Amino acid sequence: MRSRHPLKPSPPSEDFEPYEEHRGIPMPVLWIAIALAIWGALALYQSSRSNILAQEEREETLAEEGKGLVEPGARLFEANCATCHQSDGQGVKGAVPPLAGSEFVATGARTVAAIMLRGIDGPLRVRNAEYDAHMPSFASALSDAEVAAVASFVANRWGPDKQGVEKTAVASFRSQAMDERSFAGGQDISRVVPGLPAQPPYSATRSVPSIDPTVAQLMFEEGGNVWACATCHGYLAQGKESTPRLAGLPAQYIEKQLHDFQTGNRADETMKLVAESLTDADIERISEYMSGLRVASTARPSLGGELKRGETLALKGDWSLGVPACFTCHGAAGFGVAPGFPSLAAQQAPYTATQLAAWAGGRRENSPLGLMEQISKALSAADRRAVSDYLATLAPVPAIEFNVSRQETSNAER
């Protein structure tokens, strides 16, 4: 009989290759894969198209900017005026009056030139909106030819004056304005420029009170082993070379630096000795006084820096180095943002360069959030010279409103 046990399977042939039966891809998975592929292709196309459009738009913008820069004064306007008034002349709502549609600009380039030479400290009305104007004088920052070029550009672009103003006329305005203070707002301008709309009245309370005896002593009289402020910083706190300009800096910023000298957070043996001799009330008074000073600039580019490079760093920064524009933190036109960011405009170039080098080398470490340490380290020595020289060419910071109540309180305490 045959055995009921199954036969043992025979071993596979040496030529046998294992295989697996074909199984189809589940339809849901297939549709998901197709959808993802279509979505990816569309996203790639849209991104590419956006980049192309952005590039075309940028090229058109650059082309228009290039045309504008051909006009006399346009480049000077971008460097000195656009950070406040904006490139399109629209200003900053509630803060900086517009040039486009301005009744002042409509009166012509001669008015614009006069305002540039004298500046404005007081209220004015432009296009039915009131502004508390603090515009600096550009008399020390720009030559007669440069003032004429900017004024002519502004009056031509945003006003009806196509003739402009000659540098000889600007020279005449300058000689007349030598002993004049800033225009006390729009009302003061309307006295010499007919045809302006009614302007808000100027308040005499804006004026800085007469210097009190305590401040006068700190500013001008040496006592014991301590030097008077004017000994190094000048009688109008304009500074000289490696000694900084203090006129117009925010009062809170000056106070902080003096306290930092006292505690050693900022190193300087001379200033530490001076600061340690001051009381908190002294620091408050002298800081208030210096912040309210409005005086011409004595700063000049003296380091051989490339001014064009300095202008780029101040206005735009250099993101390839991780460096933001100086004016991002220090305010339009480098006028400062209280309390942490001082004005840079009209600062002495050797002083600015020295401080940048100190931050880069770790010898100064008291900037907010360590920002200046990082920025200074990213800049080359040539960049530090360039931006320092450029800032020295700018018009000085305009006067700020003096805190009368705080001054009266200080006087009462005495």
**Predicted pLDDT of residue 176:** 84
**Superfamily (CATH H level) for 213-291:** Cytochrome c-like domain (1.10.760.10)
pLDDT reading at 61 higher than 50: no
Nearest to 271 by CA among 281, 260, 282: 260
Question: What pLDDT is recorded for position 282?
Answer: 94
Class of the 307-393 domain?
Answer: mainly alpha
Strand, helix or coil for residue 100: coil
The yes-or-no verdict on residue 312 having pLDDT over 70 is yes
Distances from the Cα of 232 to the Cα of 158, 222, 242, 356, angstroms = 44, 12, 10, 20
- The CA-atom distances, in angstroms, between 278 and each of 58, 181, 209, 227, 286 are 55, 32, 22, 12, 10
pLDDT of residue 409: 33
Nearest-10 crossing angle of helices 381-392, 307-315: 80
User: Number of H helices and number of E strands within the chain?
Assistant: 19, 2
Token representation of residue 7: 């036969």
d(C-alpha 46, C-alpha 276), whole Å: 64
**Mean pLDDT across the chain, nearest whole number?**
82
Mean pLDDT of 172-180: 83
Q: How far apart are CA 184 and CA 206, in angstroms?
A: 10
**Looking at residue 106, what is its pLDDT?**
96
Interstrand relation of 129-135 and 120-126 (parallel, antiparallel or unpaired):
antiparallel
Q: How far is 366 from 369, CA to CA, in rounded Å? A: 8
Q: Which uninterrupted H or E stretch holds 122?
A: strand 120-126
Confidence check: pLDDT of 309 > 50: yes
Alpha helices in 213-325 (DSSP H): 213-220, 229-233, 251-263, 269-276, 280-291, 307-315
Is the pLDDT score of 382 beyond 90?
yes
User: Rounded to the nearest 5°, which phi and psi values hold at 159?
Assistant: -145, 180
Confidence class for position 66, pLDDT limits 50, 70, 90 = very low
The percentage of residues in the chain with a pLDDT greater than 70, rounded to a whole number, is 77
Read off the tokens for 237: 């706190």
8 A C-beta contact, residue 186 and residue 200: yes
Does residue 112 contact residue 170 with C-beta atoms inside 8 Å? no
| Residue 414, CA atoms < 13 Å, CB-side half-sphere | 12
pLDDT of residue 139: 85
Model confidence over 341-369: pLDDT tens digits? Answer: 999 999 999 999 999 999 999 999 998 87
Q: Domain limits of the chain?
A: 72-192, 213-291, 307-393
What CA–CA distance (Å, rounded) separates 279 from 285?
A: 10
Nearest partner of 385 among 310, 274, 289, 282, judged by Cα: 310
Res 190: pLDDT: 94
Which CATH architecture group holds 72-192?
Orthogonal Bundle (1.10)
Residue 239 has pLDDT above 90, yes or no: yes
Rounded distance, CA 83 to CA 394, Å? 12
**Looking at the predicted structure, is the pLDDT value of residue 29 above 80?**
no
Work out the average pLDDT over 51-60. Answer: 47
Indicate the pLDDT class of residue 88, thresholds 50, 70 and 90: very high
pLDDT score recorded for residue 334: 87
382, burial (CB in 10 Å: exposed 0-12, middle 13-18, buried 19+): middle
The domains spanning 213-291 and 307-393 adopt the same CATH topology: yes
pLDDT at 39: 65
